[in-house]
Amino acid sequence: MGTAAAPAPERAKQRRSSHLWKKALLHFSLCFVMGFFTGFAPSSSSSWRSNSGQPHHQLAASHLTVNQVSSSLVPASPESDAVSNGAVVDVDDVGEGDDERRRRMLIVVTTTRSGGGERRRRRGELLRLAHTLRLVRPPVVWVVVEPAADAAATAEVLRGTGVMYRHLAFRPEENFTSAAAEAHAQRNAALAHVEKHRLSGVLHFADAAAVYDTSFFDQIRQIEAFGTWPVATMSAGEKKVVVEGPLCSESKVTGWFSRDFNDGTTRAVKYNTETDSNPAGAAGTRAHTIDVSGFAFNSSILWDPERWGRPTSLPDTSQDSIKFVQEVVLEDRTKLKGIPSDCSQIMVWQYTMPMVAAQTSTPKTHNRR
Amino acid sequence: AAASAAAARSSGGASGGGGADGVSSDAGAGGRAPATSTFWFLLHALCCLVSLFLGFRFSRLLFFLLFSTTALYSSTSSSSSSAVLRATTTTTTTTTTTTTTTNTFTLSFAAGSNPPPSNPSNHSAALDDAAGHTQSHVVVGRHGIRIRPWPHPDPVEVMRAHRIMERVQEEQRRWYGVKEPRHVLVVTPTYSRAFQALHLTGLLHSLRNVPYPLTWIVVEAGGTTNATASLLARSGLTIVHIPFPDRMPHDWADRHATENRMRLHALRVIRERKMDGVIVFADDSNVHSMELFDEVQKVQWMGAVSVGILAHTGTADQPRLSEEDKQNMPLPVQGPACNSSGQLAGWHTFNSLPFTGKTATVVGEAAPVLPRGLEWAGFVLNSRMLWKEADGKPDWVKDLDAVGENGEEIENPLILLNDASSVEPLGNCGKKILLWWLRVEARADSKFPQGWVIEPPLEVVIPAKRTPWPETTTELSSELVDTKPDQEDRRLSRTN
Amino acid sequence: MRWVLAAIAILAAACFFLGAEAQEVRQGHQTERISGSAGDVLEDDPVGRLKVYVYDLPSKYNKKLLKKDPRCLNHMFAAEIFMHRFLLSSAVRTFNPEEADWFYTPVYTTCDLTPSGLPLPFKSPRMMRSAIELIATKWPYWNRSEGADHFFVTPHDFGACFHYQEEKAIGRGILPLLQRATLVQTFGQKNHVCLKDGSITIPPFAPPQKMQAHLIPADTPRSIFVYFRGLFYDTSNDPEGGYYARGARASVWENFKNNPLFDISTDHPPTYYEDMQRAVFCLCPLGWAPWSPRLVEAVVFGCIPVIIADDIVLPFADAIPWEEIGVFVAEEDVPKLDSILTSIPTDVILRKQRLLANPSMKQAMLFPQPAQAGDAFHQILNGLARKLPHGENVFLKPGERALNWTAGPVGDLKPC
């Protein structure tokens, strides 16, 4: 700092100015030091938590929840943080569309049933679904739940497809008396995974035997909370094609219908918008459930029910997640989105195998009655 | 390391001071001039900010130099930077290694905000020794668990990762895949029916994943339809959509024969147009593994692959099959059988014995459909063997015109050969199942919505308080009718 | 006008300053350095370059222990057993101790399992000490150099410190009797009490046949971005967290459990080996010790190892170009792991994968039965051969003594 003070002041004005600029110098130095120490503060990338002996998982959990909310609502750019931390980030994503940033993650869950016939058919069916999912634009996470005994053989088929999947080996605690019970338990196992990992995205249970149009997956990405659409169910060896789904008007679900194209019957129920806008009105219908093939939902309902205006400690969430979700979807009709907007295009086909009393093999897809 | 930090700090202070000097001397010059005080103030503030920023960046630089001894992903240059560090460290160390050395490094910030290591004696030992002994910057003891505050996962990074994986897979294909891939010609007979959309969409997705140049030859019975055409058009594949005059019969045996004639028709088109490539026979209800398309690249003239037969056994009574048998019954396979030296020795055919008298005769009957003889789907051909003239075409190949002229049924492509022993078994000599064969159909007279669009929009029905889902049966159960007092809430409407 | 100029000057200075820094940063992350010599070193043949004398110890130091608990053959420390078996039939073995360059003492210090199969080294120091006392009295060669031409395989968590907890291990230090010997160990961390100068760092033992059986075709598309299976919190030994893995594993879980690209879990699936082969990156974070069997698995299965262990010394680092095949992430940078991995240029990733496909690299990580050219046994011998000829300080002058036979914890001095 010697040079600065070099010219010897003679006049008062000069003295004053020299004084002024010593002051300035002081300011600058102070600022520099301040900046210097700001830089030395713990980098914003780390948040140090005290070791208070509390379970870390819980602390971390609440921390993450907050972040999750902001991430799914505002796709904020973390680059600024990263750069200031001295991390190397190629900022070369010039061509990155807004679309890509906003594209929601899809969590596709596929359950498989045990039983000889099912196991034989499984590889082919999973392969077909894998090929479809391979065409869906990322990010997609495919969760395949399978009885542990069969997992290795199926994995061989799946890994050849190049699809990013997570294989959950399912070890049931009980022997299932019905295929429905097994599927139910497997779905809960998948939801437990989503809950534990706090995966955030649109979750749909895709039946391996169902065939999807690829545009379907783009459509369900639009779902904010819950979504539903018409599904065509065909019966092999019968004269029966049934389409079931929501009645929609501008994506708003106004009711439900079921139409059999062969005997020409249509059953439909329409909500009375005046008297039935109160979700509580539907609370009496707890006994009803919505079929899993016909809806998708935002997975955060599983691990962040508060965000959805629900009490946190519902016993349902941990014990029987899928039942919980099914109920929530029906109760909270205002958050239900019809897909596509008028719910007229069918993008999902599934079939039922001819089944008489189902004593030889497990029922194929859906026993709806 | 502390010494180097101090040195760096002092040099930082010097350079920072120098910067401030420059600023202030200029500012001083400004002070002499009769300028407006606001401008002076602004400049002052600006300079303050600049020095703040400079200080910040400088400390980050120092921070970076000091603590990033481990490279992010690089090696050489960062190890050189860490080598500098090491050098500064080793100057303060003695060469003797003693057993009392502990590995403690106190970061100025870490020590302040992080609880000290749990073993105090250890810690103090470290401090005692700090002057003269080797140090690593690894702390022994309890650490904070770093959780980043910014939102994640970052969608941009997720997309970037997917692009990386795409490139990796592409590169894998380049390393291990076929060097000069041949064109794949897929022949598919189809017709408009309830299950067409389901089957064809599935096949279409598989074909879109094939990493080789591909032409899809679709032969449609009863002439081409718009529904099929629009479905195919959306695939983005190269498509040859050929009409076939005959309608698809309802009898399974007849349908089988018609499909064979349709395939032969496609082969004639290939012959006429001199299309070059490997012909794969894909029924719309087949499911293919991608490995099949790798395997067919190896075919010289005619190859055979193993087909897994998914004959659904969902019929009510199957006296010959106990539940246990069904559990243990392996997937029936149809395809080539090899001897120990890897030569074609015969064929695995489908054992239809357990199904005697239980199979479907009419399309859409509620009984399993079995393959008849060897399925076409299990064969692949070099299209050149169909051409009138082709280089090196073996003499054991018949001319296509001589086949099926009199309307006899072509059971399988083996009829094209004089000598079936030249067929090349593919897929690890037929040990690997490369495609699955399943026939499920609705009854032939099943109606379905055109283009799978429900229109006109459903008529408005009487409002309801309840969601009927999923008890929506075609008939109201008597229980519902009888017991629900508010049954007027719903209405059964018959449209025809 | 002058002020404007001054302002410009300041800005220019600032730009220069920042630019210089940016330069620095960029330099820090350049990668590509082509070096093809690594493979050559890996393919060195040690035969003819050294002679090893294997002491014939009573079977209570080795074979009897194994008979008592054959599980010793399968855990991560089993290298000590297989090294013994290998040397017995190796071409470098000599039966004439006078012509030997190296002396090997076959003690299975880790073959002392708890009922649940955990190898805990409580008896190890006493056993090692007892074996050394035996060879020092029975043969003249130990006293000649006090162990400087002897090597010992000590594959435990913290090597010859013989404790599985780092603080305790540091407190103990390397067994005093081994101070002059060469240690062949899995543990490696720079400037650590338990890492002696001149030690040979080896990969942990991973069952070669089992891995071989799980190999899948190399063209299986890699469809997992990041893969990890293992503990994040060791709640039984570290209930408060932050001590285990220095908090790095916990940080991986907390930051990335919800990331679709991170296939991380504590479940150990039956397809673990296959899944590694369809992953691009495999995390190899430190556990209680900085090394982990995942390193071996990642290299064998061609998955780029992401090494999270500050100052780790990697196996055969003189022969394997770890910087070029792996990714190093500082423990404090774990929260940035996704940014770090996704910002690696694809070319660099592909190059790492090409290097990993090199069979000699995989071979050097394994202890196959029977031994094969270029495997880990041979790399160990290569390492020993490179230390030859012995320096002048190896052999003591008559009457000179360097070791203190009574140093160390009192417990260790008890007879075995």
Encode pLDDT of C323-354 as tens digits. 999 999 999 999 999 999 999 999 999 999 99
Most confident region among A259-273, B74-88, C269-283 by mean pLDDT: C269-283
Mean pLDDT of all residues in C68-83: 87
**Predicted pLDDT at A42:** 43
Nearest to A51 among C233, C242, C345 (CB): C242
pLDDT in tens, C382-400: 999 988 888 888 888 877 7
Per-residue burial over B251-269, b if 16 or more Cβ lie within 10 Å, else e, is ebebbbbbbbbbbbbbbeb
Nearest to A35 among B55, B160, B308 (CB): B55
Nearest to B146 among C261, C323, C335 (CB): C335
**Predicted pLDDT at B221:** 93
Nearest to A163 by CA among A134, A135, A126, A137: A134
Residue B201: pLDDT band (50, 70, 90) is very high
Find which of C23, C26, C31, C223 to mutate to test the A interface (most A CBs within 10 Å of its CB). C223
Per-residue burial over C371-382, b if 16 or more Cβ lie within 10 Å, else e, is beebbbbbbbbb
How many residues make up chain A in this entry? 369
Helix (H) or strand (E) holding B32: helix B2-32
Nearest to C339 among A82, A165, A167 (CB): A82
Helices (H), A41-178: 56-73, 79-84, 98-102, 116-135, 148-159
**Predicted pLDDT at A366:** 39
Instruction: Indicate whether B219 pLDDT > 60.
Output: yes
DSSP bridge partners of B187: B217, B281
Helix (H) or strand (E) holding B327: helix B323-328
pLDDT in tens, B393-408: 888 888 877 776 666 6
Strands B333-338 and B306-309, sheet pairing? antiparallel
Cα of B98 to nearest chain A Cα, Å: 32
Q: Check CB contact under 8 Å for B164 and C197.
A: no
Q: How far apart are the C-alpha atoms of C13 and A51, rounded to whole Å?
A: 45
Read off the tokens for A316. Answer: 């349902």
**Cα–Cα distances in Å, from B213 out to A368, B216, B278, C159?**
44, 10, 11, 57
Q: Check CB contact under 8 Å for A45 and B148.
A: yes
Q: What is the mean pLDDT of chain B?
A: 69
- Residue whose pair of structure tokens reads 């067929």 in the numeric block: B423
Instruction: Indicate whether C102 pLDDT > 70.
Output: yes
List CB contacts (< 8 A) between B101 and chain C: 191, 193
Our CA angle for B373, B379, B385, nearest 5°, is: 120
A:297-326 residues touching chain B, CB 8 A cutoff: none
Instruction: Indicate whether C54 pLDDT > 80.
Output: yes
User: How many C-beta atoms surround the C-beta of residue A282 within 10 A?
Assistant: 19
Position with higher pLDDT, A191 vs A310: A191
Mean pLDDT of all residues in A92-103: 54
Mean pLDDT of all residues in B182-187: 95
Q: What percent of chain C has pLDDT over 90?
A: 40
Helices C346-356, B155-176: axis angle to 10 degrees equals: 40
Q: Check CB contact under 8 Å for B73 and C29.
A: yes
Cα of C278 to nearest chain B Cα, Å: 10
Residue C33: pLDDT band (50, 70, 90) is very low
Q: How far apart are the C-alpha atoms of C305 and C285, rounded to whole Å?
A: 9
Q: Which amino acid is present at C198?
A: G
- Residue whose pair of structure tokens reads 């030997």 in the numeric block: C100
Instruction: Indicate whether C275 pLDDT > 90.
Output: yes
User: How many C-beta atoms surround the C-beta of residue B354 within 10 A?
Assistant: 17
Mean pLDDT of all residues in B123-139: 44
Does residue C378 contact residue C365 with C-beta atoms inside 8 Å?
no
**Predicted pLDDT at C9:** 58
Residue B60: pLDDT band (50, 70, 90) is low
Residue C296: pLDDT band (50, 70, 90) is very high
List CB contacts (< 8 A) between C197 and chain B: 97
Nearest to C170 among B54, B102, B134 (CB): B102
Q: Check CB contact under 8 Å for B152 and C255.
A: yes
Residues of A with CB under 8 A from a CB of C: 45-46, 51, 53, 56-57, 60, 63-64, 68, 78, 82, 85-90, 105, 139-141, 148, 151-152, 155-156, 159-167, 169, 196-201
pLDDT in tens, B150-167: 777 888 889 999 999 999
Read off the tokens for C295. Answer: 């390193």
* CB contact B12 to C (< 8 Å): no
Most confident region among B19-28, B345-354, C168-177, C245-254 by mean pLDDT: C245-254
Q: How many residue pairs bridge chain A and chain B with CB atoms within 8 Å of each other?
A: 439
Nearest to C63 by CA among C91, C85, C79: C85
Q: How far apart are the C-alpha atoms of B402 and A233, rounded to whole Å?
A: 45
Does residue A199 contact residue A107 with C-beta atoms inside 8 Å?
yes
Q: What residues does each domain of chain A span?
A: 98-227+287-339
Nearest to C106 by CA among C178, C147, C56, C162: C56
**Predicted pLDDT at B492:** 33
Nearest to C335 among A45, A105, A155 (CB): A45
A:142-201 residues touching chain B, CB 8 A cutoff: 157, 160-162, 164
pLDDT in tens, B279-313: 999 999 899 999 999 999 999 999 999 998 887 65
List CB contacts (< 8 A) between B135 and chain C: 191
Q: How far apart are the C-alpha atoms of B170 and B227, rounded to whole Å?
A: 34
Instruction: Indicate whether C283 pLDDT > 70.
Output: yes
Cα of C3 to nearest chain B Cα, Å: 7
DSSP bridge partners of A278: none
Residues 6+ apart with CB under 8 A from B122: B102, B104, B140, B141, C167, C170, C171
**Predicted pLDDT at C330:** 93
Instruction: Indicate whether A8 pLDDT > 90.
Output: no
Architecture of domain A98-227+287-339: Alpha-Beta Complex (3.90)
- Residue whose pair of structure tokens reads 């407190």 in the numeric block: C171
User: How many C-beta atoms surround the C-beta of residue A331 within 10 A?
Assistant: 20
**Predicted pLDDT at C263:** 94
Read off the tokens for C16. Answer: 């220069």
Return the SS3 of C128: helix
Chain Cα centroid distance, residue B376:
28
Q: How far apart are the C-alpha atoms of B207 and B216, rounded to whole Å?
A: 8
Q: Check CB contact under 8 Å for C233 and A167.
A: no
Q: What is the mean pLDDT of chain C?
A: 84
Q: How many residue pairs bridge chain B and chain C with CB atoms within 8 Å of each other?
A: 240
**Predicted pLDDT at C242:** 83
**Predicted pLDDT at B100:** 31
**Predicted pLDDT at C225:** 95
Instruction: Indicate whether B37 pLDDT > 50.
Output: yes
Our CA angle for C238, C244, C245, nearest 5°, is: 170
Q: Check CB contact under 8 Å for A282 and B52.
A: no
Q: Check CB contact under 8 Å for C345 and A141.
A: no
Read off the tokens for C358. Answer: 């090199």
Give the gyration radius of chain C's Cα atoms: 24
**Predicted pLDDT at A36:** 66
**CA atoms in the 13 A half-sphere facing the CB of B173:** 17
Q: What percent of chain B has pLDDT over 90?
A: 22
DSSP label of A141: E
Q: Which amino acid is present at C70?
A: P
Q: Which amino acid is present at B442?
A: A
Instruction: Indicate whether B173 pLDDT > 70.
Output: yes
* CB contact A278 to B (< 8 Å): no
Nearest CA in chain A to B207: A131
Find which of C31, C271, C329 to mutate to test the A interface (most A CBs within 10 Å of its CB). C271
Which value, to the nearest 10 degrees, does the dihedral of the CA atoms of residues A107, A113, A119, A120 take?
-80
pLDDT in tens, C196-216: 888 999 999 999 999 999 999
Q: What is the mean pLDDT of chain A?
A: 70
Position with higher pLDDT, B461 vs B332: B332
Residues 6+ apart with CB under 8 A from B357: none
Nearest CA in chain A to B289: A127
Residue A84: pLDDT band (50, 70, 90) is very low
Does residue A29 contact residue B20 with C-beta atoms inside 8 Å?
yes
Find which of B50, B158, B467 to mutate to test the A interface (most A CBs within 10 Å of its CB). B467
Nearest CA in chain B to C238: B142
Residue A104: pLDDT band (50, 70, 90) is confident
Q: By mean pLDDT, which of A211-225, B164-178, C61-75 is the weakest?
A: C61-75
Position with higher pLDDT, A359 vs B430: B430
* Chain A touching partners, 3 or more CB pairs below 8 A: B, C
DSSP per residue over B37-50, as a string? HHHHHHHHHHHHHH
DSSP label of C189: B
